[in-house]
Amino acid sequence: MCAGELKKRLTGPTGLHHQDQKLYYKDKERDSKAFLDTTGVKDKSKLVLVEDTIGKEKRYLEVKKNAKIEKDKKLISEISLEVDRLARQVSSLESIISRGGKVVEKDVLNLIELLMNQLLKLEGVIGDDDVKLQRKMQAKRVQKYVETLDMLKIKNSMTTSTQQKVYSSGLVSSPPIHQTRHLKPSISTPVPLQQTKHSLIGSLKQPSSHLVSEPVVITMQWETFDSTSSKIPGAPSASTINPAQPSFIRDLI
């Protein structure tokens, strides 16, 4: 039997944990791995058992450290699940704003605050190398989502209020694709060019009912004829024959 096994058997009667015991034989501490028979212990040999206060303190610190590591691992796992949930809401907001929608700014700010709270929780995590690595990974995720929300907040503020109706955050569904009713502007049908030309020529051929008939004087003096014809109120001019074309006609040409 080794000294360590003997210590375990004495745990019940003494109430001391086997790691908190020191076993002496002939005023010399015996190692827990040492066999008693090889150290000279025989039947009815006298052994002294004392409490190892220093060892007890070390064991207490080790137990506390292990408990803290387990607690930190559990906390990181909870933070990871919460970040996953918030990430889905970030994706929902990003989908709405990227399609030109507008969301309530308070929803964006609330998400940023919730993510920052998770970042504060991560700062309190102190563990071994594995725990520190997980903490670093989650911190990077949170930072990425916060930066995304900052960009979405700027883009959302630039969206015109008349463009889309305002949507709430991740608790509501994304905006429908066809969400506004487009009104067709009432635009008169353009008149075909050929029809417009015929109507203009026809209107020129029709005599005006408001013309005042005046006596016509036949003369061989061309200067007199020109000056007389220019004074006739109903005489067509160059501007009358070639009127300005409407804009839609110019477009068709």
| Angstrom distance (rounded) from CA 85 to CA 90 | 9
Task: Order across the sheet with 47-51: list the strands.
Answer: 28-29, 21-25, 47-51
Nearest to 156 by CA among 164, 87, 113, 84: 164
What residue ranges do the domains of the chain occupy?
A: 3-51, 72-167
| pLDDT tens-digit map of 95-120 | 999 898 888 999 999 999 999 999 99
Bridge pairing between strands 102-103 and 28-29 = unpaired
Nearest to 108 by CA among 176, 141, 154: 154
Q: In the chain, which stretches have pLDDT less than 50?
A: 162-163, 170-189, 191-225, 227-232, 234-243, 245-246, 248-253
| Angstrom distance (rounded) from CA 143 to CA 140 | 5
| pLDDT tens-digit map of 213-249 | 444 444 444 444 454 444 445 444 444 444 454 454 3
Q: Which CATH class is domain 3-51?
A: alpha beta
How far apart, in Å, are the Cα atoms of 153 and each of 25, 107, 145, 171?
76, 10, 12, 18
> Do the beta carbons of residue 106 and residue 93 sit within 8 Å?
no
DSSP secondary structure code for residue 215 in this structure: -
| Angstrom distance (rounded) from CA 223 to CA 229 | 10
CATH match for 72-167 among 1.20.58.120, 1.10.20.10, 3.30.420.40, 3.30.70.2740: 1.20.58.120
